[in-house]
Structure 1
Amino acid sequence: MTVLDTRALNRATLARQLLLDRSDLPALDAVAHLGGLQAQEPQEPFVGLWSRLRAFDPTVLSTLLIERHVVRTHLMRRTVHLVVADDAVAWRPRHDAMLRQRVLGVYRAELDGVDLDELAAAARALVADGEPRSMPEIGRALGERWPTAGMRALGEMAIALLPMTQLPPRGVWRSKAGARHVLLSAWLGREIAPPAAEGTDPVGQLLVRRYLAAFGPAATADLRAWCGLAGLPATVAAMRDELVTFRDDRGRKLIDLPDAPRPDPETPAPVRFLPAFDNAILGYDDRSRIIDDAHRGLSVAGERVVLVDGRVAATWTVDSGTVTVSPLRGLSRADRVAVTEQGQALASFLSDDGSDRVRVGSSPR
């Protein structure tokens, strides 16, 4: 079985994540290709697409959200993702059990004695009028029925039990609006199908293909780290005739789509600035293809990072229009020039006045 070393996996990841060369894909197609963008920080998807698309116009993404072509919803890993509407409708039923269990994992004691079917029915009756509500509002209203349960627990479980979406202006370019929720079916004018019958997993197979197209080659543990779903090894086993296999240099079995890009490991990789919680890092259980183990915690802490030669080499922040880069290791003169150039372009993108102020630290953090 062919072994793919870390650099080979890195270049495959960059190619599929549209980070090896900026793409001409329309924003809607890019969101679909990437399987959505993690978006609990509402402005971060704009930086994610700016780093991946040529001539990206953030108002286009805002319009897609306002016109209901993309939605903000709790999905993979029970985190808020910006996904195309078709994927939200198709994927949400497959995530039902995971969403419920993850809320219970946090709030089991506070929800003790609450019948979840009754909670779902009460929550549905509450939001049936179509009035957008915040999670605290939902929790307080449900607290009248379950006064001993935690209101936050009730609100979070309601949103896990019912397919909901966060409405714009939340997630609109340069908006700071709070999260207000309505039923996904009401917002899109489409019914959400119930989960598939036990023993079948057509949506799981679709998720495997879509994940590999955007993240492969990868192990089943990586697949689960991306979506949080159980039962996928059996789904992958049922697809074995349409997949190819490799091993990484840690000995793990990797699966992939036969015709997906696997570039030459020596392909040059440009500097890229990634937003907080970018799935190019979080979409794997073994993230060593893109970030050193010593810095793995940065990705879950919400640090924004800079890729140099395809790997996390710095963090970045923006304040008062200035992008500040803090290296995690020494950077060559050429790397510093490239980081500065990309930082200036990012500062200009983020600023109101087109300014391009950037500061690159002189020593590792």
Structure 2
Amino acid sequence: MTVLDRRALNRATLARQLLLDRADLPVADAVAHLGGLQAQEPQEPFVGPWSRLRAFEPSALDDLLTRRRVVRTHLMRRTVHLVTAEDALAWRARHDAMLRQQVLGTYRRELAGVDLDELAAAGRAVMADGEPRSMSELARALADRWPGPGPRPLGEMLVAALIPMVQSPPRGLWRTKAGVRNVPLSAWLGRAIDPPAPEGADPVGRALVRRYLGAYGPAATADLRAWSGLTGLPAAVASMREELVSFRDERGRELLDLPDAPRPDPGTPAPVRFLPAFDNAILGFHDRDRIIDDDDRGLSVAGARVVLVDGRVTATWTVEADTVVVTPLRRITRADRAAVAEEGAELASFLSDGGSGCVRMTAYG
């Protein structure tokens, strides 16, 4: 079986993630291809498409949100993602059990004895008037009936798990500060959520496997689980064995892939790219060694924005006023510093709506 080394996996990942060459894709198609953009920080998803698409304009993503073609909703890993309306409707039922278990894992003691189906029905009755509500407003509406858990456990269980919700605009619009206001997904889109598949069938699981491998492969089943948060996909993978190809990484793990997906030559040059906080190019794997060193792995879950140099996390970046500040994690060659400064200046201009943003690189060590 062919062994793919770290660099080969890196280049494949960059190609799938649209980070090797910026793509000429509509924003909605890019969101669909990537299986969504992690979006708990409302402004971060705008940097992801900017790094991946040619001539990206924030207004295009705003338009998708306000026209309800893309939604902000809890989905993979119980985190807020921007996903297409079609994916939200198709995938939500497949994530129901995981979302419940994730919230219960945090609030099992507080929610002990609460009939979750009864709680869900009461929550839907409150939301039936179509008014957007914050999590705390929904929890307070039911607090007299369930006084024990407290507003946070009650609200999170309702909003993140029991009732499929969207976070309605203006939350998530470019340069807009707005609190979370929740609306039931089916009411927001005017369409019913796709029902669960009959027992023994898992068409959504197979669709998730294909979508994941198309944007993240070659990858192990542990990587698929890390991206989706779902533990019930081995059967879907097993049913697809004949349509997938297999490799091994340098650690001996089996990696699965779509036969015709791009796997560039490991020597392919990789341009500098700036990634937003919590980008799935890093978080979408259990083994993140293909893109970030183990010593730096904590950055990916701490919300650090990172810079890729030769395809790997090499620096972090922040914004101070109109300046993009780059902090290297290791020594960078003069040529790479120049490339980082050039790309950083483009990012600063984007973040300042075409203004003359600046770049400042701090010294290493």
TM-score (norm 2): 0.99
Aligned counterpart, 1:265: 266
Which residue identity lines up with residue 180 of structure 2 in the other structure?
A
Query: Superposition pairs for residues 209-288 of structure 1, below 5 Å?
Result: 209-288=210-289
**For the residues of structure 2 that align with 1:298 and 1:85, how far apart are their CA atoms?**
31
Aligned counterpart, 1:67: 67
Aligned-partner SS, 1:237:
helix
Q: Which runs of 5+ in 2 are unaligned?
A: none
Query: Superposition pairs for residues 1-365 of structure 1, below 5 Å?
Result: 1-159=1-159, 160-352=161-353, 354-364=355-365
1:301-339, CA deviations, whole angstroms, 9 ceiling, x for partnerless residues?
A: 000000000000000000111100000000000000000
Q: Which runs of 5+ in 1 are unaligned?
A: none
1:254-292, CA deviations, whole angstroms, 9 ceiling, x for partnerless residues?
A: 000000000000000000000000000000000000000
Aligned-partner SS, 1:330:
coil
Q: CA deviation at 1:351?
A: 1.1
Gap change, CA 1:353 and 1:235, over 3 Å in 2? closer
| Identity among equivalent pairs (%) | 76
Q: CA deviation at 1:200?
A: 1.1
**For the residues of structure 1 that align with 2:350 and 2:289, how far apart are their CA atoms?**
30
Aligned-partner SS, 1:194:
coil
Aligned-partner SS, 1:288:
helix
Q: CA deviation at 1:174?
A: 0.6
Is this contact kept in 2: 1:123–1:138, CA < 8 A? yes
The RMSD of aligned alpha carbons is 0.8
Gap change, CA 1:136 and 1:229, over 3 Å in 2? same
Q: CA deviation at 1:96?
A: 0.2
Which residue identity lines up with residue 299 of structure 2 in the other structure?
L
Q: CA deviation at 1:177?
A: 0.6
Is this contact kept in 2: 1:111–1:150, CA < 8 A? no
**For the residues of structure 2 that align with 1:152 and 1:197, how far apart are their CA atoms?**
34
Q: CA deviation at 1:60?
A: 0.6
TM-score (norm 1): 0.99
Is this contact kept in 2: 1:245–1:253, CA < 8 A? yes
Paired residues in the alignment total 364
**For the residues of structure 2 that align with 1:69 and 1:352, how far apart are their CA atoms?**
24
Is this contact kept in 2: 1:270–1:308, CA < 8 A? yes
1:184-237, CA deviations, whole angstroms, 9 ceiling, x for partnerless residues?
A: 000000001332222111000000000000000000000000000011112101
**For the residues of structure 2 that align with 1:270 and 1:263, how far apart are their CA atoms?**
14
Aligned-partner SS, 1:313:
strand
Deviates more, 1:227-236 or 1:322-331: 227-236
Aligned-partner SS, 1:131:
coil
Aligned-partner SS, 1:83:
strand
Which residue identity lines up with residue 356 of structure 1 in the other structure?
G
**For the residues of structure 2 that align with 1:179 and 1:167, how far apart are their CA atoms?**
7
